[in-house]
Each structure stands twice: as structure tokens, then as C-alpha cells.
Chain A
């Protein structure tokens, strides 16, 4: 079955450490997105990529980095510069002509100890 796989589902990190969240899709979708979800704040866009080797900052990119070396992969690195990284992170993808019907992964919950 096609879909988006995020890993790990749960991750604990000490302050000052970088951590990378994986997002892989086998849907042949062009665009991929990373969102952060905090209670009561809805979804906030971190980064998005519409094509391989290109990506743009979203609304809250500070302290995060991404790469898009392959169409199916869009990993997110949460760096030590991110002041409050504890959150639920969601990856999504969409293809051209899909009228913004996003497919989401199951999410990764990051907790900073």
C-alpha cells in the first residue's frame, strides 16, 4: 500500500542535541511538507519542498533544517537552536493536480528532556 512513513514515532532528546526525523513516501508525490503541532495551536508549517533539491521556509523555520535529495524522502533535523522543540511533528505530501488533498504520515512525537 502507498503511504507516508514517519520514524521514529517517539523520540527523546537531551537539550543541545540535534535530532533527525525521517519522512518517506512511496506515492510518487511531488511536494512534501513538515508541520509542527502543539496543543491549541493547530498546524504550523516548518518547511516545504515542491521539487527535488529545492525547499522553502514555512512560518516557523528557525531552528530546523531539511533536505530533499530524493523525491521520496524529506528528512527534518531539529537543531539545538530550536528553543522549544518538544512537539508532535507531521509530514505530508501531495501531487500536482490533487487540489491540495494532502496525505499525512502518522507523526513523530519529540520530547526534550
Chain B
């Protein structure tokens, strides 16, 4: 079946450090891949997405590349800020699954000044 595996948190970084949050997936066919972000006390919001192999999603300085050969969609940012402190969720969707998303468990990021 379909599944998403994220690196466990929490991740703690200093401001301006480089961020990588690993995400790998198992799926049949050609899923779409997503990163959602949840700021403290709020709902989730879409951060970026990629719908086919080799696509790169980007937003707010974050990037992730859809790598079919390694079944990965790692999230990166070159220089994190305190305001990036949040929980990050990787997710996938597959055609024909009634528009349900398959979610990773989330990775908590804390950025210290």
C-alpha cells in the first residue's frame, strides 16, 4: 500500500542554518507529493507540491525535488529563520484514491535565535 516516512523530530537548529527534512514514500503509479506546514496552534497549510518526477516545488525559500529513482521528496531550506519553527508534514496522493492524502507523522522544527 501507499505510505510516507519522515525523519523523526524534533529538529533544533540555529538561525541561518541549513535545513533538510527527509521524506520517502511507497506508492504505486505516479503520485503527487506535498509538504504542508503547521504553525503552533493553527491548522495546516500547503507549503509546496510536485506532481511528477523531477519537478521541484518551491515556496518561501523552501524547496523539494520529486525523485522517483529514490522515492524521495526531501524538504530543504538554505537559511532558516525563527519564524520557520513549525511542524512539517510530507504527504502523497494517488489517482483514484478518492482524493485522500497519505500523511507522514510530521517533523517538528525549532529554530533558535
Q: A101: shortest Cβ distance to chain B, in Å?
A: 5
> Contact between B43 and A90 (Cβ–Cβ < 8 Å)?
yes
Chain B interface size range:
20 to 34
A90 touching B44 in the complex, CB below 8 Å, given contacts A50-B98, A50-B99, A101-B49: yes
Question: Residues of B contacting A6 with CB < 8 Å?
Answer: 43
Bound-state Cα–Cα, A90 to B51, Å = 25
* Count, A-B residue pairs, CB within 8 A: 53
In the complex, A28 has a CB within 8 A of chain B = no
What's the minimum C-beta distance from B1 to chain A, rounded to whole angstroms? 12
Give CA–CA (A94, B46) in the complex, Å. 12
Stretch in A11-19, A36-44, A70-78, A79-87 touching the partner: A36-44
Q: Is the beta-carbon distance between A41 and B105 smaller than 8 angstroms? A: yes
Q: Which residues of A contact B46 (CB under 8 A)?
A: 101-102
Closest to B105 in A: A42
Q: Is the CB of B103 within 8 A of A99?
A: no
The distance in angstroms between the C-alpha atoms of A94 and B45, with both chains bound, is 12
